[in-house]
A and B are shown apart, each in its own frame.
Chain A
Amino acid sequence: MSLSLGEEQEELRLLVRTFLDDKATSHRPPPPGTGPQKYDGGLWRQLSGQLGLTGLAVPERFGGAGLGPAELGVVLEEMGRALFPSPFFATAVLAGQTVTHCGDEAAMERWLPDIVSGALTATLATAEPDGSWAADPPATVADRGRDGWVLSGTKTYVVDGHTADLLLVTARCPDGVGLFGVPATAPGLTRTVLDALDPTRPLARIRLGATPASRIGTGDASESLAAVRDLVRAALAAEQVGGAAACLDMAVGHAKTREQFGRPIGSFQAIKHKCAQLLVEVECARSAARFAGSVVGSPGTEAAIAAAVARSYCSEAFTHAAKENIQIHGGIGFTWEHRAHLYLRRAKSSELLFGTPREERARLARLTMSEGAAP
């Protein structure tokens, strides 16, 4: 294990970078108030079926590449850099990793091959209107009806929830927290797209009214969901690193070419020091995210500590980079046409998804104290 990429990971990074550079550079922000950015179905099929990205961390027996969170991190760093609009995070990370780690062979056989091929988009719905991500125990209830389980309740902040073909939903069962698969077409299910701060990552509210659902696994799913949450947090941290690096690149590019007072603004120390500080933070963030990517998924507190460190640090590093990028761009950075605001919107939103930095720090304080001393 190393904090530098291996040869094959570096090849993967280049593959994704080239693909995104070729295909995805020109997307403009959607006009204000017109809802979230739509993704390109053709590109989605290419990156899933042809490039095999959705199957990277899926076991080989379901058609995947059998790799893990480190490789997912490589892809997400590049997607975060490009702010690439696609259901990749929801499908490959949220849903793909939940199913891969659910321990239910039938569920894996049913959904993973279609996730790998790109035929199925999916997401995970855990948060509820009370404002907590884990919602443990969930207010959404699962009842056993005559023809199987039915779910009732409301899930919100569901990433790509308005377009996903399959929703994985947590609900309260007699034997603990249950995990369920609900097709988007199920009766009694309504979904509303939200006006999200970040138009490049659509969010939806899902209402379930006695909606039929299939149970995934048996017994309380809290533990496997917690392990998945560490994987999700490591992936999100990698995406944040990419976003921060993109902001730094944009800021430096602008500072080299924009002239005021007869010289490039990047020759002024005030601008230089901002950029240098961002580089330090990007490098630090990348080290933290890569370490998290290399240990999440393995048992023990180290994975939880690494995920908390990565999320707490990368969240703030990205937001800082996004803010400084706008400041360094000056007036042009304040216009809707310029992409700088999209990164700030993504940064601020990513901070809040799946645990705020403050919550991560509280977790870390608890975890480190319980370890007794620094590892």
Chain B
Amino acid sequence: MRLDTSAELDAFRAEVRSFIRTHAPGRKTHAGVRAPAPALVPELRRWIARLHDAGYLGRSWPTEYGGLADPRPEPAFVVAEELARARAWGQIGAGALAAGALLAHGTEQQKHRFLPRLRSGQDLWCQLFSEPEAGSDLAGLRTRARRDGDHFVVDGQKVWTTNAQYADVGYLLARTDPGAPKTRGITAFALDMRAPGVEIRPLREITGTADFNEVFLDGVRIPADRVIGEVDGGWRVAGASLAQERGSVAARSAELLDDLSGLLALAARPGPEGLPPLGDAAVRDRLGRLATRVYVADLMSKAVQSRMAAGTDEPTDPAMVKVFFSDTNLDAVSLGVRLQGLDGLLAEGDDRAVDGGYWQDALLYARAYTIAGGANEVLRTTIAERALGLPREPRS
């Protein structure tokens, strides 16, 4: 479904779509936020530079750092949607998140050093937030950063770091004041990923692929001028940078709509006795239920986008979109496997696998969406407390 937009945005969409068709390197074959093959990374760096040069990424940035100072979120939604629809790569790693932090809290020197390198694809960033003991409870992170003259010395372990193996800079949260209340003793840093003491180990997930990493930090020295924002003020920095991730609201529903087309094709594909699953009323009902949810997810995302554009959005809007999207996605890809009948037994390594094993991989990957970026249970608690004003639970 689409809403009427301005002629200008329609023209922009057409331009972006054609740009992606002409220039985008490769097409993603797996669902979700995945690590590119090593050989593709140099090409992706050039592609990221190209997207910035065209004004498609970093469009809202001030002009002195290469942006267009465009305050509207709509163009960013269009870009995110078109990239997702084409299953094309966009910014990889934590570039948008880091840019948000630097623009809101960075020093002039940091902005001049990091932002041009980020735009040109010279620096890929990764996000060093989650830890083995700090998942949903991010404020419980234990990685320590101790002041040592004009440096900080960092010890600890990070996990679920996408693209750490390719990243040049890490956007790190570490505890600088263990005595302070949880959220008050955390500091944000820009960490040189090639510094001595940084060790990256790939983490193999249930999909069989290694899209995430563990990052071990052992006596890593960071110059004090790489602190982003105030010392002990990192929690606020992290909060501000999340505003840069709003495009994901648009991207997710574009993926779902694409999956719905795929499901309709699967349902029309002749099964064992030459009959397509669609001939079965129960299948039609399930497909109708799923189509309902996919369209509703898209409309909900559009409603939130229009609230963001009007400045009337609520802090919990992205959480609501994410909860609904991730549950719907799980239903969608489960149905994708189910519609294959016995062929659902095969995975991508078998050349007879339906759609190259896309659905089997997506089914396994679907759990990343219900867990990452705030497990749905944690988000429901947040929604209940912030949007509905229900009393907080006693917390340690």
A residues whose Cβ falls under 8 Å from a Cβ of B: 1-4, 248, 252, 255-256, 263-264, 266-269, 271-273, 275-277, 279-280, 283-288, 290-291, 302, 305-306, 308-309, 312-313, 358, 360-366, 368-369, 373-375
Complex Cα distance A3/B3, Å? 8
Q: Is B260 an interface residue (CB 8 A)?
A: yes
A267-B391 CB under 8 A given contacts A362-B285, A365-B287 = yes
Complex Cα distance A245/B388, Å? 12
Pair B324/A280 contact, Cβ less than 8 Å = yes
Pair B302/A272 contact, Cβ less than 8 Å = no
Q: Which of B4, B295, B306 is close to A4, meaning CB atoms less than 8 Å apart? A: B306
Pair B4/A284 contact, Cβ less than 8 Å = no
Pair A252/B323 contact, Cβ less than 8 Å = no
Complex Cα distance A268/B391, Å? 9
Of B104-112, B183-191, B378-386, the stretch lying at the interface with chain A is: B378-386
Q: Which of A3, A273, A312 is close to B384, meaning CB atoms less than 8 Å apart? A: A273
Q: Which residues of chain B have C-beta atoms less than 8 A from A369's C-beta? A: 264, 268, 278
Give the Cβ gap from A33 to chain B, nearest Cβ, in Å: 37
The 7 closest A-B pairs by CB, nearest first: A361-B288, A272-B384, A276-B380, A276-B383, A3-B303, A287-B299, A266-B390
A280-B284 CB under 8 A given contacts A272-B390, A361-B289 = no
Complex Cα distance A363/B295, Å? 14
What is the number of contacts between chain A and chain B, taking CB atoms within 8 Å?
Answer: 149
Q: Is B11 an interface residue (CB 8 A)?
A: no
Q: Is B362 an interface residue (CB 8 A)?
A: no
Q: Which of A266, A287, A302, A312 is close to B288, meaning CB atoms less than 8 Å apart? A: A312
Give the Cβ gap from A248 to chain B, nearest Cβ, in Å: 8
Q: Is B297 an interface residue (CB 8 A)?
A: yes
Binary interface profile of B, 259-290, with partner A (CB < 8 Å = 1, else 0)? 01100100010000000001001001101110
Q: Which residues of chain A have C-beta atoms less than 8 A from B349's C-beta? A: none
Q: Which residues of chain B have C-beta atoms less than 8 A from A290's C-beta? A: 303
A364-B1 CB under 8 A given contacts A256-B390, A269-B393, A369-B268 = no
Which residue of the partner chain B has the closest CB to A268? B393
Pair A273/B381 contact, Cβ less than 8 Å = yes
Complex Cα distance A266/B389, Å? 9
Complex Cα distance A252/B394, Å? 19
Give the Cβ gap from A5 to chain B, nearest Cβ, in Å: 10
Q: Which residues of chain B have C-beta atoms less than 8 A from A277's C-beta? A: 323, 380
Q: Which of B2, B303, B312, B320 lies at the interface centre, i.e. has the most chain A CB atoms within 10 A of its CB? A: B303
Complex Cα distance A60/B295, Å? 34
Q: Which residues of chain A have C-beta atoms less than 8 A from B295's C-beta? A: 288, 305, 309
- Interface residues in B358-394 by Cβ distance below 8 A to A read 377, 379-381, 383-385, 387-394
Q: Which residues of chain A have C-beta atoms less than 8 A from B307's C-beta? A: 4
Q: List 28 A-B contacts (CB under 8 A).
A: A1-B3, A3-B3, A3-B302, A3-B303, A4-B303, A4-B310, A4-B312, A252-B389, A252-B390, A266-B384, A267-B390, A267-B392, A269-B381, A272-B384, A272-B385, A276-B323, A276-B380, A276-B384, A280-B324, A309-B292, A309-B299, A313-B293, A360-B288, A365-B284, A366-B284, A374-B257, A374-B261, A374-B294
